[in-house]
Structure 1
């Protein structure tokens, strides 16, 4: 068997490390200037934590905005916890880095998009299992979606 360098997984790890570094700085010093983030994540990730009503409303993915009001931002090596306001109701969330599908800071036109694996609680007996998707594919996401 030939050994090879897995650049895709190395890039994913580096990109997730960048997100961790940015969020750690924000937790310690607050958001500078006009910076703000749109973070989309897979709500079916086994380590994602969110209120049942949010999971019912967003059964597959959810986009949060970290901008004007957030509280209790705590960053660790696996993900981050944050309290956000949903209709004047503060709700704590925990988002693992592996659950993140996009991370965008539109104030500086910066964005990352991750190809993610599926998290399915149901086993289909009639279907053949699909081979796992490579987690190493990553690309910069277009910011046109968030432009005004």
Structure 2
């Protein structure tokens, strides 16, 4: 098989990250429509991620946030998004580059995307568990892709579906 010098895998991931960017931009402008809400998992130590030392200590490798009822100041740029959430009653502002996102899932319509974040963690590493968090803050332990896998009617788009089999 010929070597992929164009790097279609990277181009496809960038295009799918554009879907997440577009959705979040629209939500920042108009709010969440209908029953839509999002589970977004990301690598906490990826370049450009900003969160408090308290959260970083609790979620050393990966974190999943839920944008549903209680979030504020959602701002989206070409490369990242910023959002306010409450954790154990304490407000926090998070900055998450799209390159750090590992999964995006909207359970209202069973739609999900999985990504290979830049400088991703070893696949054998697991996300840290959340304890005592509100439902709208963090989905304990499970990244968006794992949540999607638990739903029988899921429609997770994996890049492997588009790769040629050897």
Q: Same fold (TM over 0.5)?
A: yes
Q: Which residue of 2 aligns with 1:16?
A: 17
1:59-138 correspondence to structure 2 within 5 Å: 59-118=60-119
Do residues 145 (structure 1) and 150 (structure 2) align?
A: yes
How far apart are the structure 2 equivalents of 1:3 and 1:26? 36
Do residues 49 (structure 1) and 50 (structure 2) align?
A: yes
| C-alpha displacement of 1:89 | 1.2
TM-score, normalised relative to structure 2: 0.70
- Please, which runs of 5 or more residues in structure 1 have no aligned partner? 121-140
TM-score, normalised relative to structure 1: 0.79
Max radius of gyration: which structure?
A: 1
How far apart are the structure 2 equivalents of 1:34 and 1:23? 15
Q: Which residue of 1 aligns with 2:33?
A: 32
Secondary structure at 2:93 match in 1: strand
| C-alpha displacement of 1:144 | 3.3
- Please, which runs of 5 or more residues in structure 2 have no aligned partner? 122-144, 153-166
Deviations, residues 59-99 of structure 1 (Å, cap 9, x unaligned): 00000000001101000011100000112211000000000
How far apart are the structure 1 equivalents of 2:4 and 2:150? 40
How far apart are the structure 2 equivalents of 1:19 and 1:3? 26
Secondary structure at 1:17 match in 2: helix
